[in-house]
Structures are given as C-alpha cells and as structure tokens.
C-alpha cells in the first residue's frame, strides 16, 4: 500500500485521507472517515468515481481496452483456455494443473442434475414467459432445495453452493428453452463437456441421438469465457450487495440475474440483434445513426458504448472473429453480419461516436453468433447469466471471506419535505 495522503477541506475541517494503491490501476482515496470527521457524505450516483471494494479477480483498463482475469488477458484465455479452466482460475486464483482441472470438471459434472421437484416450477410459468423470468424464479427457488450448504461462514459450504450454481445453470437455462418450445426436458449427459452438455440439453431431443458440432462447442465455450466476469458491473455489485447482508447464495445470484436482464446491461445482446433486424439493410443505417445522435430521440445504438471501455471492448474483437468461425463451420451467411460491420464502420467514422468514445461492446456481435447457432433472441441474456454465474460466485466468495466485510449501505442526499405534522383526513 502507498503511504500517500489526500486532503479535503469541508465544513471548516481539513481531513487527511489515505490514498491506497492496487497492483495496477488508479489509486483510490479512502474516505471511510469522512462522515465521522466532517459530517458530510460524498455524492456519486451511478458510482462513476467510487470503488466499492478490494478485488483480486478482474482488472479492466477502459482507456487501453484491457481485460485481465487474475492477470491473464482475455484474448489469451479466449484463444487457449476453456470455460472450465477459466472458472477454476476465477474461483481459485491460479490456473489449474491437469489433475486439478480434471477433478474440478468432475465435481462440476456431478452437480449438473436438478432436483426433480424443480421441474414443476417450470410448469407454473406460461409457455411464452421470457426465459430470464423463468431463470430468475428457478434460481431463487434453489434456495429452498439445498439446505445442506447454506452456512455462508463455512468455506466448505460456500464451495459446494458455488459448484452447484455453476453446474446447474446450463441445465436451468436449457430447461427454460425447452419449456418455451414445448419439448421434453433433456437430462444432462455427463460424458460431454460442460458446453457440449449444455448444447445437447438445449438442442437435443429424446427421440434422436445428438451430435455436438466441435466448432460450435468451441465457439460457445469461448462466448462463455468472454462473459465469465467483468469486475464491479451492475449485476455483480447487486450480488455483492445482496450477499453483504448474509443472504442465501442462490437468492443472491437470482438478484444478479434480475439486474443483468436490463437492456443497459446483459439485455443489450437481445436488444442489439433486434436493432440490427429492424435496420435490416445497410442503406437504412444512416437513419439509425442520425436517430442515435438526436438528443430528442431516446434511441441508442444497442451494443455500443460502455461505462468503462473508452476504447474498443477487447471482448468485441474476439466476438467478431468468432462470428466468422461459426459461419464457416455451419456454412451459413447472415446478411445482418454485413449490416453490423457496416454499421460499426459508419459509426466509428462519425465524430459523435468518436468524441463520446463509443465503440462496439461485447453484445454487438454476440447475438449474430448465437442466432446462427440456433438460439432465439430471448435466450441471449440467459446465456450471459449462465456464464457470468462463475464471476458472481467468485466475487461473492471473495467478499464473504474478507474479514473486514460489512453490510453494504449507501447513503443519500435527501431532497424530500422537511418534518411536518400529520393532517387528519377530514382536514385535507
């Protein structure tokens, strides 16, 4: 830690505050004594200047377009690693040996089945329910099933809950899809990889053998890697905040899923593909660019812009190359990809997007790949949630194991009425 100090004069008091340094990234001013010594809070809606925790998991340099998990660049992990290996890395801090990876994969595989009673939860939903609504409900319901591992002060219990969540998420996601198309649920097949198993549970049917296409399995696994964790984003902060009260881990992850669903966050992949469909052909792009720039029009280019990346999102680069690989493997051509490439080109040469540093983010190209693989748009955010679960549980574990952990409790600037007396109904 650096011994630098920052000072602030407020309310007639000058306060010296420690400046803390991480291993990389901007320093932070430790303002914890601010209220006690000056009677003032800081004001930072949207947390644009506030670090909410210490974390050793993921580092983002938004200006340089860098994303590291436990120090490893996302491009290297996407190219050389697997989702199971990245999950191990996020949870344990180091890359596994081959024995450790085999043991971890076996443990996860052993937890892939859902309690049979959970199938009845699905049947309570309308068939046209959004699969994110189903996922949110079913993951929350897990808290009513696994009472043997919910003592969050016990590291072994936390480990089992984490493994269960990572293992069951593909089964839950695939069942949400099966329910919406009216097909029977497909049970997990533990001979397959994590990702191959998910593809089979989603696209297989009991009446036929299902063969996993290796190129699709690889692309899907890579998409999971790209979504595995992303520092203190809205859904991760939601999981941490929910978890800070000591809440049940399954309920905390359900809270994260609810937050992820919004179109400004994980829902953007669905919104981006819907936008590309609405634009349709390249000749209509300029009209939508003009709309995105118009202050009086709420329209935004979905899949563009990011709170932290003010340079290209490194995940978008990998996504773009994965589109080509999947198209080649499945022998498909989607004119929307041409529209997306052209839209990116036009937007990046427009001063509005340059000045505001708006670049394609991870969601801009992911919908095109997922749709080529056969997923309906409503499943896109579900896949994001599936992959992000490992990040959520790793962050939740990191928070709970911190001895200095406290319940999260932001303060406010109150702007309502000052104290006044109750007026009886007859006098109003």
Site string for ligand CMC, 223-242 (x = CB under 6 A): ----------x---------
Three-class DSSP labels, the chain: CCCCEEEEEECCEEEEEEEECCCCCCCEECCCCHHHHHCCCCCCHHHCCCCCCCCCCEEEECCCCEEEECCEEHHHHHHHCCHHHHHHHHHHCCCCCHHHHHHHHHHHHHCCCCCHHHHHHHHCCCCCCCHHHHHHHHHHHHHHCCHHHCCCCCHHHHHHHHHHHHHHHHHHHHHHHHHHHCCCCCCCCCCCCHHHHHHHHHHCCCCCCCCCCHHHHHHHHHHHHHHCCCCCCHHHHHHHHHHCCCCCHHHHHHHHHHHHCCCCCCCHHHHHHHHHHHHCCHHHHHHHHHHHHCCCCCCCCCCECCCCCCCCCHHHHHHHHHHHHHHHHHCCCCHHHHHHHHHHHHHHCCHHHHHCCCCECHHHHHHHHHHHHCCCHHHHHHHHHHHHHHHHHHHHHHHHCCCCCCCCCCCCCCCCCCCCCCCCHHHC
Of the ranges 58-66, 149-157, 301-309, 368-376, which one interacts with ligand CMC (CB under 6 A)?
301-309
Q: How far is the CB of 386 from ligand CMC (least distance, A)?
A: 14
Site string for ligand CMC, 304-343 (x = CB under 6 A): xxxx------------------------------------
Phi/psi of residue 72, nearest 5 degrees: -90, 130
Q: How far is the CB of 224 from ligand CMC (least distance, A)?
A: 15
Active site residue 306: yes
Instruction: CB nearer to ligand CMC: give 8 or 234.
Output: 234
Question: Can you tell me which of 301, 373, 383, 385 binds ligand CMC, judged by CB under 6 A?
Answer: 301
Instruction: CB nearer to ligand CMC: give 171 or 381.
Output: 381
Instruction: CB nearer to ligand CMC: give 157 or 300.
Output: 300
For residue 197, give both structure tokens: 């198993």
363 binds ligand CMC (CB under 6 A): yes
Phi/psi of residue 73, nearest 5 degrees: -65, 140
Question: Can you tell me which of 131, 188, 303, 314 binds ligand CMC, judged by CB under 6 A?
Answer: 303
Active site residue 230: no
Of the ranges 157-165, 166-174, 296-304, 337-345, which one interacts with ligand CMC (CB under 6 A)?
296-304
From 221, 229, 313, 363, the catalytic residue? 363
Q: How far is the CB of 402 from ligand CMC (least distance, A)?
A: 24
From 306, 313, 334, 350, the catalytic residue? 306
Question: Can you tell me which of 55, 143, 248, 361 binds ligand CMC, judged by CB under 6 A?
Answer: 361
Alpha-carbon span 78 to 82, nearest angstrom:
7
85 binds ligand CMC (CB under 6 A): no
Question: Can you tell me which of 175, 268, 319, 372 binds ligand CMC, judged by CB under 6 A?
Answer: 268
Sequence-distant (6+) residues with CB within 8 A of 229 are: 57, 58, 69, 90, 236, 388, 390, 391, 394, 395
275 binds ligand CMC (CB under 6 A): no
Instruction: CB nearer to ligand CMC: give 57 or 160.
Output: 57
60 binds ligand CMC (CB under 6 A): no
Of the ranges 116-124, 336-344, 360-368, 402-410, which one interacts with ligand CMC (CB under 6 A)?
360-368
140 binds ligand CMC (CB under 6 A): no
Instruction: CB nearer to ligand CMC: give 61 or 189.
Output: 61
Residue whose beta carbon is closest to ligand CMC: 305
65 binds ligand CMC (CB under 6 A): no
How many residues sit close enough to ligand CMC to count as binding (CB under 6 A)?
19
Residues forming the site for ligand CMC (CB under 6 A):
233, 264-266, 268, 292, 300-307, 356, 358, 361-363
Would you name the residues annotated as active-site residues? 306, 363
């Amino acid at each position: 830690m650096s011994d630098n100090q920052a000072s602030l004069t407020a309310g007639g008091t000058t306060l010296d505050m420690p400046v803390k340094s991480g291993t990389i990234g901007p320093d932070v001013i430790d303002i914890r004594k601010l209220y006690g010594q000056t009677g003032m809070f800081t004001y930072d809606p949207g947390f644009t200047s506030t670090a909410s925790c210490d974390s050793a998991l993921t580092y983002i340099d938004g200006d340089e377009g860098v994303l590291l998990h436990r120090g490893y660049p996302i491009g290297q992990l996407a190219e050389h690693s697997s989702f199971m290996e990245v999950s191990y890395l996020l949870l344990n801090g180091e890359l596994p040996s081959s024995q450790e990876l085999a043991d971890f994969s076996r443990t996860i595989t052993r937890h892939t089945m859902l309690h049979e009673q959970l199938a009845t939860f699905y049947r309570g939903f309308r068939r046209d329910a959004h699969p994110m609504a189903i996922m949110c409900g079913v993951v929350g319901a897990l808290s009513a099933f696994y009472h043997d591992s919910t003592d969050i002060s016990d590291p072994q219990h936390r480990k089992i809950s984490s493994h269960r969540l990572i293992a069951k998420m593909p089964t839950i996601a695939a069942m949400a899809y099966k329910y919406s198309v009216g097909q029977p649920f497909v049970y997990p097949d533990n001979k397959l990889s994590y990702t191959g198993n998910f593809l089979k549970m989603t696209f297989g049917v009991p009446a036929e053998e299902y063969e996993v296409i290796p190129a699709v399995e690889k692309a899907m696994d890579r998409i999971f890697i790209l979504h595995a964790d992303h520092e203190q984003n809205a859904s991760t902060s939601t999981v941490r905040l929910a978890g800070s009260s000591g809440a049940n881990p399954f309920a905390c992850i359900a809270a994260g899923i609810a937050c992820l669903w919004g179109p400004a966050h994980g829902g953007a992949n669905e919104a981006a593909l819907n936008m590309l469909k609405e634009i349709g052909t390249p000749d209509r792009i300029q009209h939508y660019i003009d709309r995105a720039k118009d202050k009086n029009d709420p329209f935004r280019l979905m899949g563009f812009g990011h709170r932290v990346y003010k340079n290209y999102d490194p995940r978008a680069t990998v996504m773009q190359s994965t589109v080509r690989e999947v198209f080649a493997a499945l022998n498909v051509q989607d004119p929307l990809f041409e529209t997306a490439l052209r839209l990116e080109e036009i937007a990046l040469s427009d001063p509005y997007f340059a000045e505001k540093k708006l670049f394609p983010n991870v969601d801009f190209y992911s919908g095109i790949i997922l749709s080529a693989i056969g997923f309906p748009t409503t499943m896109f955010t579900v896949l994001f949630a599936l992959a992000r679960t490992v990040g959520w549980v790793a962050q939740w574990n990191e928070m709970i194991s911190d001895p200095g952990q406290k319940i999260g409790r932001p303060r406010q600037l109150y702007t309502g009425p000052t104290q006044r007396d109750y007026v009886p109904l007859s006098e109003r």
